[in-house]
Amino acid sequence: MKKLISVIILFIMMGQMAFAQSDQCTSAAQRVISLGGAVTEMIYALGEQDRLAGVDVTSTVPAAVHRLPKVGYYRAVSAEGLLSLGPDMIIADPDAGPPEVLDQITAVGVCIRKVGHGGSAEAVYARATQIADALGVSAKGETLKAELMTKFEAATAGNDEGTKPRVMFLLSAQDGTPVAAGSDTDANAIIELAGGVNAITGFEGYKPLSSEVAASSGADYILMMEHVVESSGGKDKILELPQIKLTPAGNNGNLIAMDGLLLLGFGPRTPDAIQQLSAQFNE
């Protein structure tokens, strides 16, 4: 019965939205939902936060965002949750979904704009421009892009000099099975921007870390997201994993934990992430 009621409510809301949305993608949108923490940060950096009607649960910065309604995790949103806030535009991380839900939202006339993937300074500049254009504030986008270019230049200055530390990023380490980042990942990108080199080569994406790969990595540092360190039992437990003990990082206790959104978000705070990570390499 509850499921039937939800479906009925959804169809009523879809009908109302279809009637209200004659222009599906207008930059005059005043009720915007942001899906993705970095997207939300960029909207705030553009000074357009007053147009936000809701955000997803990964949107945690700045502190003022906690006063906004939440629509769940950006990869697992529901049509009911999104439409209940009466949006006229949704600006989303490229991995937002599920796709069938976003298709439903588009079908009833709500504009959805997805930003490009992260992984580079250029991608951050592009995101600033894409979001500004979607909101009809292109001039603000150009100003923010210029500011970000200056910050990236300062954050990466000198990072190509000297010996580069070898860094292993672990996406998870639960159940004693570390999952490491190879090439073509945001983790690989942030390591290189901070002046390091990915200790894991030979594969793309994220894969379980074998003892053989760990032993040959020569990793000077283990890099992880703070919440993953906590959920995996803490720093000491991770350093005791057999694969990690095979690395110089494991033997020397070199584990760096950083806020996940700061580290991998590729939003306006990425220059700060680069500086923080680079500083820890040089301690």
- Is residue 1 in some structural domain? no
Specify the pTM.
Answer: 0.89
**180 & 145 share domain:** no
Domain count, the chain: 2
**40 & 127 share domain:** yes
- Measured CA to CA in angstroms, residue 134 lies from 82, 97, 128, 139, 148 at distances of 19, 19, 10, 12, 19
**172 & 225 share domain:** yes
Q: What pLDDT digit, counting tens, does each position of 11-70 carry?
A: 444 444 433 333 467 778 889 999 999 999 999 999 999 999 999 999 999 999 999 999
Q: Last residue of some domain: 122, 154, 186? A: 154
**141 & 201 share domain:** no
Q: What pLDDT digit, counting tens, does each position of 125-164 carry?
A: 999 999 999 999 999 999 999 999 999 999 999 888 889 9
- Is residue 3 in some structural domain? no
**200 & 77 share domain:** no
Q: What is the average per-residue pLDDT within 177-189?
A: 96
Closest to 145 (Cα-Cα) out of 153, 157, 37: 153
Domain that holds residue 110: 9-154
Domain containing residue 83: CATH number: 3.40.50.1980
User: Does position 242 have pLDDT exceeding 60, yes or no?
Assistant: yes
> What is the C-alpha separation between 78 and 104, in angstroms, rounded?
10
Mean pLDDT of the residues in the chain: 91
Per-position b or e across 216-242, b if 16+ CB within 10 A of its CB? ebebbbbbbbeebbeebeebeebbebe
**92 & 146 share domain:** yes
| Dihedral over Cα of 177, 182, 185, 188: its sign | positive
**pLDDT for the residue numbered 234:** 95
Q: Last residue of some domain: 132, 154, 176? A: 154
User: Does position 6 have pLDDT exceeding 70, yes or no?
Assistant: no
pLDDT band, residue 115 (cuts 50/70/90):
very high
**118 & 181 share domain:** no
